[in-house]
């Protein structure tokens, strides 16, 4: 059965990803030590998250909510969003 993601861990991971996206985005505008590494990481993480979206698009299409919204959240949060969708689906399937 699918394990539920601890909400605190998920919140910390989401916050870390948002901080990464801000730093990686800023690296395109500010030249500093290590900026090139952040630019490469930006494209690499974006590519990985795009592949995750394609791999799980069937599940995301069946999930409630906007498919475009799932696309955006998967690009930002990657597999964390997929886990949230799976956890929500598992919770909805459990009898009360």
Q: What are phi and psi of 95, to 5 degrees?
A: -70, 150
d(CA 96, CA 30): 53
> Over the Cα atoms of the chain, what is R_g?
16
pLDDT at res. 1:
36
Mind listing the pLDDT tens digit for each residue in 47-96?
999 999 999 999 999 999 999 999 999 999 999 999 888 888 777 665 55
pLDDT at res. 60:
93
pLDDT at res. 6:
77
Q: Is 73 helix (H, G, I), strand (E, B) or coil?
A: helix
User: Considering only 14-18, 28-32, 39-43, 70-74, which range has the smallest mean pLDDT?
Assistant: 28-32
């Amino acid at each position: 059965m699918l394990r539920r993601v601890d909400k605190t861990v998920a919140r910390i991971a989401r916050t870390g990803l948002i901080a990464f996206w801000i730093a990686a985005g800023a690296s395109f505008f500010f030249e500093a030590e290590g900026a090139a590494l952040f630019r490469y990481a930006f494209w690499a993480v974006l590519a990985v998250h795009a592949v995750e979206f394609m791999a799980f698009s069937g599940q995301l299409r069946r999930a409630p909510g906007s498919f475009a919204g799932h696309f955006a959240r998967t690009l930002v949060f990657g597999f964390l969003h997929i886990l949230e969708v799976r956890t929500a689906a598992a919770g909805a399937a459990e009898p009360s």
